[in-house]
Amino acid sequence: MPTDALDAFVAALPKIELHVHLETSLRLRRLVERTGAGPALGAPHLVADPAVFVGYDRLRRLRYAGRAGRVPDAWYTRDRIAAVTAELVREAAAQNVRYVEVRVGGRRGFALLGVRGMLEAMAEGAASVRALGVGYGAIVTVVRERGPDDAARLVADAVACRDCGVVGIDLAGDEQNFPPALFAAALRPARDAGLGLTVHAGEFAGPAGIWTALYHLGADRIGHGIRAVEDPALMDHLRHRGVTLELCPTSNVRLGLVPSLARHPLAALRRAGVPVTVNSDDPLLLQTSLARELVAVARAHALTPADLVELQVAAARAAFAPEAVRRALEAAVRAVPLPAAGGSPVP
């Protein structure tokens, strides 16, 4: 498929994004500096130079410690959190994303606004652009390094905020030193309340972390999970159980976890029948988007338009949304006509 035709097909394809972080700090910087409401702090160096992603002693802390640069506490207001959430949804709508689950777990935002205040502000922002037709759900991220007691408190707050659009809990952070079993009791109320559960695993650590996330927590989805490819038995298990991997290809490359998009395990996982989705992870930090990710993996792995449709069907089925919403999303994706040579791979 020619480049222009691929771009046009991806643009027309209804899309579902399951793994995108609010990136409060970075979005706040852009909002405040753009509106002139605060001093410019300088561009975060992580955006300017992809090479700095490689070589950190503790890469797994990148998402939680200064990845976008600190901003003054005074910049964290309900109005601004609502504004950056609305901005994220507008960006999704511009890509023909029909449903997005937004992760939030920033300690500063929760500390300054309260968990409910933060989640209400996000819900207000999403509601302000509801006319764009993008479904919205919030996923509250629990960070392993903060321990099971902190996790239990955060889960209780998240369960109490289901009216703010909370649809799931995400366990993230240091895979190697904070195993999922530590958080089984803390996360159980989320499961009991009907929230979905996704676990960052198989990214910086190996397949064992995915196994334990499945057996100790009953994870519905796995964030990243690229190292499942190292264990055929695990891939069989993921296929039989229908556990979906939230792949974030550019993120994996920029963090040095895979050498290139062409060598990303997406294709091997798909061949093994593992349900996989494609996501942008941290779009501002990585200078990407869901549409760009889909175009990039299509080129790197010779995916056909039909393959791209199936990636979005997998995302629709794995969403932490009501069944009627999931079915409507899948129907919208399947309704997109394939090109006449829809089975032809992208060159």
Q: Between 34 and 312, name the one with better pLDDT.
A: 312
Ordered DSSP codes for 181-248: GGGHHHHHHHHHTT-EEEEEESSSS-HHHHHHHHHHH--SEEEE-GGGGG-HHHHHHHHHHTPEEEE-
Q: How confident is the model at residue 255 (pLDDT cuts 50, 70, 90)?
A: confident
Ordered DSSP codes for 88-123: HHHHHHHTTEEEEEEEE--HHHHHHH-HHHHHHHHH
Two tokens, residue 185: 């009791």
pLDDT recorded at residue 31: 84
Q: How confident is the model at residue 39 (pLDDT cuts 50, 70, 90)?
A: low
Instruction: Determine the Cα–Cα distance for residues 108 and 64; give it in Å rounded to an integer.
Output: 11
Average pLDDT, rounded, for the chain: 89
pLDDT recorded at residue 68: 54
The share of the chain scoring above pLDDT 90, in percent, equals 73
Q: Mind listing the domains of the chain with CATH numbers?
A: 3-334 (3.20.20.140)
Query: Among the options 23, 124, 203, 246, which is catalytic?
Result: 203
Question: Coil, strand or helix: which one is 133?
Answer: coil
Contact status, residue 144 vs residue 178, Cβ threshold 8 Å? yes
pLDDT recorded at residue 254: 86
pLDDT recorded at residue 343: 52
pLDDT mean over 271-298: 95
Residue 87 falls in the annotated catalytic set: no
User: Dihedral of the CA atoms 139, 145, 147, 148 (nearest 10)?
Assistant: 40
Q: How confident is the model at residue 42 (pLDDT cuts 50, 70, 90)?
A: low
Q: How far is CA 282 from each of CA 61, 62, 130, 169, rounded to the nearest angstrom?
A: 14, 11, 23, 18
| Helix count and strand count (H, E) for the chain | 16, 8
The residues facing 136 across adjacent strands are 100
